[in-house]
Amino acid sequence: MASISIKQHIYQYTLQRQVRKTLQLQLTAIDTLSIKAPKSINLDVILAFIQQKADWIQQKNNILQKQPLTEASPLNDLKDGSILLFKGNETILRVKSTYCKPAITLAAQELCVNLYAPRPQDLRACLKTWFILQAKKILLQKTQFWCQRLNTNVGKITIREQKTRWGSCSSLGNINYNWRIIMAPEKTIDYLVIHEVSHRHYMNHSKEFWHLVQSHQPDYAKHKLWLKQHSHEIFQII
């Protein structure tokens, strides 16, 4: 997937050559464009056409950024045998009602939840608490690691229930992470951390910012795209 700078903002785009007479431009996801073009048209003409639509692209992108990532699925979808995601791996949910101490354990691609029979618990609440704890542990470790690599530091790190963002970094260096990122592959989690820590050098999405991100993760665009393509799926799990 190629990239283009529009009004000092980087967009990823795909280009399809077709038997057609006109150019077609679509914003398919946040910061992501799809262009369909005649087979014979020159690439410079296509890029110029995109720039001519800069105001429209920016307007639509801003609207998309403000929309919730997705709506949550019905809670009763969670049951023994449901498929969850943990660090990008499909994990089978195993639910048991026992008289033992409530516990959640992960082993051999199965997430086993022991619910205390005399005092029924909300399965979703138990899972959410466990996922948040795992996210906090891993994100704190990764943030510390990437701060050292990028020669910077951050302020307070908060794990949140966010509906419109995967993460954010304030001018004071405080970072918020969406706990659901723990469902993404390990390298995609790294992408999010690198992205937010890089904001300690550039509080924008300028060309310099993306160059810094790329210098530490050359294939960052792949992980950025993964989040856009799988956000709906992730938000339906829990």
Are 82 and 150 in a shared domain?
Answer: yes
Q: Would you state the pLDDT for residue 77? A: 66
Residue 4 confidence (pLDDT) above 50? yes
Q: What tens digit of pLDDT does each residue of 158-197 get?
A: 999 887 789 999 989 999 999 999 999 999 999 999 999 9
Are 136 and 27 in a shared domain?
Answer: no
Are 174 and 118 in a shared domain?
Answer: yes
Q: In the chain, pLDDT over 90 holds for what percent of residues?
A: 54
Are 117 and 95 in a shared domain?
Answer: yes
State how many domains the chain has. Answer: 2
Q: Would you state the pLDDT for residue 67? A: 58
Mean of pLDDT values over 84-110: 86
Residue 71 confidence (pLDDT) above 70? no
Q: 70 falls in which pLDDT band (50, 70, 90)?
A: very low
Which CATH number characterizes residue 145's domain? 3.30.2010.10
Q: Would you state the pLDDT for residue 212? A: 97
Mean of pLDDT values over 100-118: 82
Are 122 and 231 in a shared domain?
Answer: yes
Mind spelling out the 3-state secondary structure of the chain?
Answer: CEEEEECCEEEEEEEEEECCCCCEEEEEECCEEEEEEECCCCHHHHHHHHHHCHHHHHHHHHHHHHCCCCCCCCHHHCCCCCEEEECCEEEEEEEEEECCCCEEEEECCEEEEEEECCCCCCHHHHHHHHHHHHHHHHHHHHHHHHHHHCCCCCCCEEEECCCCCCEEECCCCCEEEEHHHHHCCHHHHHHHHHHHHHCCCCCCCCHHHHHHHHHHCCCHHHHHHHHHHHHHHHHHHC
Q: 150 falls in which pLDDT band (50, 70, 90)?
A: very high
> Which domain does 82 fall in, by range?
75-237
Q: Would you state the pLDDT for residue 73? A: 42
Are 53 and 98 in a shared domain?
Answer: no
Residue type, 30: I
pTM of the model as a whole: 0.68
Q: Would you state the pLDDT for residue 119? A: 64
Q: Would you state the pLDDT for residue 235? A: 82
Are 208 and 94 in a shared domain?
Answer: yes
Q: Last residue of some domain: 49, 66, 83?
A: 66
